[in-house]
Amino acid sequence: MAIAAKVPAADAPSSSAPAKRRLVFVDAIRGAMLVLMALNHIPTEVQSVTTHPFGFVSAAEGFVFMSGLMSGWVYSKRYYRDGRAAMKDAALRRALAVYLYHIVSFAAVLGTITLLANVFGVFPIAASDAMLDHPWTMMVSGLVFLQQPALFDILPMYCVFLVALPFVLSACANGKRSSVLLGSFLIWLFANIFSPQQPIVHWPVDMGSFNLLAWQFIFILGAVCGQAWTAGERIVPKVTTWTVTLALIPGIYFFLLRHAYLKPPISHAWLDWMTNKNNVAPFRLLDSLIHYYLIYALVLKFPRWFSWSSLALLGQHSIFVFSVHVAVAYFILSCPDTLQATAGERWFSSFLMIGAMFAAAIFHRWIGEVRKTRSTKSALANPSLGATR
């Protein structure tokens, strides 16, 4: 399942330089997925294009896989350079940062919703009754991920994945890549056989729209690919005319099926089960794998298409940008009469969302530069301290 081969130079995207800089194309694709997800989270005039345009696969599947790919690449570099302990420490610190972003945005949105409802009589569309009636219970439950209302179910999942990541990458580095993938796949299979097809919602529990046991396979698959890339090994089939053709045939079929150009070979009830998003059901998983491979082929063939610095900026600061977009989405959904009623208002909301995301990315980059400058000055002022770092 994970047969490794050394990667020839021709099989590596030209934008990659693993030892020196970020993977621009990964950041750009993640940025594009962020934009698509954000536009799907508010009423817009472009949702017919941004919502499942290519088949039974959405931007979320792309974002989670690319996040796994980047995480596998980044933390594997740390593993090979500084050892397992340093890699584990870095991953756990990142998990803590993601947790803090989630909690701060959750508290901010919950507090704002409570204020709008009690003071101004405005009730956001995305706000559940529990948010309005039991805000303190919601907050306490949210601290331990037992409450994951609309749009607050991605970061908790990412947090858990980052905690598990050191074990995954260490196993891969020690020759157990196939075992990792098989174990992850079996967990996905278990989730699809025994887990309900709908989110688990039973007050005070709301586990969100993403079954962690199923979605872990997408993240771990990406992380394993990132680890293999760092090790200079290829675990995906080499891109040839035949492999692309073999991927395109079912991909086109799923596209035609998704947009009702073809009659499904099974009942609609079974089709809904096989394409369920909550559990990344079999057809959805297969379609996702097809798209991952086709995009990989496109990156190799046309690397410049995936080198947009503006989208890469969003991808580089994806967690902060995602947190901000959630708050903006709730704000827009709080104003149905002024930001959603007409096509013009919906276009304005779309630009407001995208503008806020880029502003958040620029602000976060500036914060990082300030911290780096202060750290450099501190190291210069205290050479002994800089040497210990």
Angle separating helix axes 241-258 and 282-301, nearest 10 degrees: 130
Question: Has residue 351 got a pLDDT over 50?
Answer: yes
pLDDT for res 85 = 95
Question: Has residue 318 got a pLDDT over 90?
Answer: yes
What's the mean pLDDT in 86-108? 95
Question: Has residue 287 got a pLDDT over 60?
Answer: yes
Question: Has residue 1 got a pLDDT over 50?
Answer: no
Instruction: Name the residue ranges covered by the structural domains of the chain.
Output: 5-388
Q: What is the mean pLDDT of the chain?
A: 88
Question: Has residue 19 got a pLDDT over 50?
Answer: no
pLDDT band at residue 9 under the 50/70/90 scheme? very low
Question: Has residue 132 got a pLDDT over 90?
Answer: no
Q: Which of 2-11, 46-55, 148-157, 158-167 has maximum average pLDDT? A: 158-167
Query: By C-alpha distance, which of 115, 67, 75, 56 is closest to 253?
Result: 56
Q: Round to whole Å and give the CA distance between 306 and 29.
A: 7
Return contacts of 337-344, CB within 8 angstroms, 24+ apart: 340/42, 340/43, 343/45
Question: Has residue 4 got a pLDDT over 90?
Answer: no
Poorest-pLDDT segment among 116-120, 244-248, 315-319: 116-120
β pairing state of 5-6 and 233-234: antiparallel
pLDDT for res 192 = 94
What's the mean pLDDT in 268-292? 95
pLDDT for res 8 = 47
Residue type, 128: S
β pairing state of 201-202 and 205-206: antiparallel
Q: pLDDT digits over 21-66, tens only?
A: 567 889 999 999 999 999 999 999 998 888 898 999 999 999 999 9
pLDDT for res 127 = 73
Question: Has residue 103 got a pLDDT over 70?
Answer: yes
> Whole-model pTM?
0.89
